[in-house]
Structure 1
Amino acid sequence: MRSRVIRLNTLTGLRFPAAFVVFLYHAALLGYLGLNWLSPENVHDYYRSVHHAGALGVSFFFVLSGFVLTWSARDTDTAPRFWRRRFLKIVPNYLVVWVLAMVVFAAPRTDMKIGLLNFFMLQVYYPDFSINFGVNPAGWSLAVEAVFYLSFPLLLRLIKKIPVNRINLWVAIVGLGIIATPFLSTHLAPAKSVFMPMEPETSVNQYFYSYILPFPRILDFALGILVARSVMTGRWRNIGMVWAGALLVASYVLGYFTPYIYSSRAVCVIPAAILIAAGAIADRDRRFTVFRNKVTVWLGDISFAFYLVHFTVLEGLWKLLGSKLYTGPQAAAMLVLGLGVSILASWALYSLIERPITRRWSNPRKRPVAAQREAVPAESQPLVAGLAIEER
């Protein structure tokens, strides 16, 4: 039984950059930013520079979820307690932003079926973009994460049974499975006749099976679990954060030269896992990283709320300021304003909803101390210092 869990502040600090690249990608999809380099119609400029940035951010979060949940897993935990904490972590913010999105922009163009499917996190089981992204476009990934959380107790139990000397072999196998997913999608899933408006060579149907459907994405989550186990058991070969960061940048550049269905699903996920492992090892060994300071950790703390609310903020600002097309410096100023308001809204969500709810109800009410001592011998009570690392 581990007596202490090291808080991984570097990984917390890395969360906001991952959310920020999703912000940049979603900004590229908002056609009201009329400047050429911010216009979806001019796909050779701003959109092309960020067209798989959103996918990088999502993949990073999926792998990170598996890693930090494994790192912070409690030996005495039960599946119902784990599910309770996860439910209280993601659902309140998700539902609040669902309401905000409906009020701000989605209700006039969203029928009841699509709204309810998004409300109950069922939008990821239909190969239809109008359903997948029908209310809050960022919300689909939380529906995928919900499947991860349901499967985590079983996955962790199975992965813990893998012999230590074979853990890296399984890292490689799952990594190859992730790379194979878009290949299988393009060759096995029917293309139909609907193609992505921004990526005319990519079928909506094949993209759905490769990128959105939860079950193939479990591989990303399992990769995070496996890498965490490799690090925790001393089997991981660390290359350090500088080289891991350079590798991630190089993989992103490589994405420009691969079909979109590969750049959005497979190109960056392995380098992302390597960077996550390097960050965790830096924290474990107490090495300096630029992501472990008060500002970056605070931004990481509010990153979940930021990820959820930023698209609604961008749409809301546009309506509030007159629903016009922006050109030149106005468009750039609009992005800066949207970023600032999104951070403030995220802070409010984190401070008023996420943190109070998780602190108050994540764990069952404690019995009186005397009763606890009678029920549990002192030597068997686990120390829980550092459990705040659990995914934010």
Structure 2
Amino acid sequence: MAAPAPGAPGTGPQLSDLAPVKLFPVTLPTTEPPAPLPDPGPAPPQGHAAEDGHDVPDIPYDYFWAVDDAMPALDRSFAVSGSGLLGPQERKRKSASHGRWLPPASRDPWTLGSRNWRYSDAEGLNLTLGNEEIEIPAWGRAVRLGGVSLSQSSLVSSDYADSWRYSLSLGALDQTTAEQGDLVYGETAGNLVLRYGLNRDLSIESQTQLAPDLATHGIGGKYQTGWGAWSAGVARATQGLYTGWRYQAAYTVKVLDDVELSWRNERYTPGFVDLSRYGADASNGGTVQTVSAKLPLGRWGDLSGSFQNESVGSGAARRSFGLAQQFWYSPNLRIGLKAQREVVTGDYDIGIRFSVPIY
């Protein structure tokens, strides 16, 4: 066959068919020249109108930040990684006490003491199981009971005006002495104290004590002034064939905002016996004068001193003075110091007590 002549159009493969890039015709788009935007019209409604004329958004209020929303975050610890987010092991932060060696405050309503187990809630209810010093009026005398104590006050949710408080203790008399060292309990007993506050300065108190063959009832009051607090009370006791009365008056004042001074005068007639003198001879009356002072020492506790002069109808007299102090030496060690001296007999007593909490 005869080959086509060079340059003849059209027939057979061409050299341009072997090129890697092929060209095709493209139509270029045309754009309009820029023009200014039109004026914005009224904005569409974003919510509904409230009564005061302001727009209220249609977003649920659960998505808005409130003041109370910050409270849960204050009780949490942030991640150590520094991202600002709560870590996977979140734990509540414990508030530190004012004292250096005091144990940290706990949010647990149950607390374990050296002689008792105590429960306290936010409503002002307190329950104690174990050994505790009973609640007394300002003019009363303290004594320890081993058993159950229940108390509650309205001051948690109300003001001083028309406030009330009650305290009930049931158990056995604690007759343990420092010389023996062993736990010694006596007869079963009960103590009830009711307090009603007319206002911030004036309150009325009553006390009832019961034990085998003993019933004591008392009433009194406390008045707070700018120069201190006055308290007075009268009580009547019946034990077997004996019936007697007790009259008390006390005054407490603070000096230099730190030192607290107290004075108390007590007179009881023959036949009067309460829980603090249970089992004593009721045939004689007597008088008791007590002067005490207390000085706070910060983390070293409170240093207290007292002088007591007691005389009975039979002519016997007793005069004594003493010093006492308790403080936390470390988070797991509490130290108590006590010294007492009898003026008439010359006897003295010096002691130190170490308390170690067990958890």
TM-score (norm 1): 0.25
State the structure with bigger RCO (CA 8 A, min sep 6), 1 or 2. 1
* Greater share of helix: 1
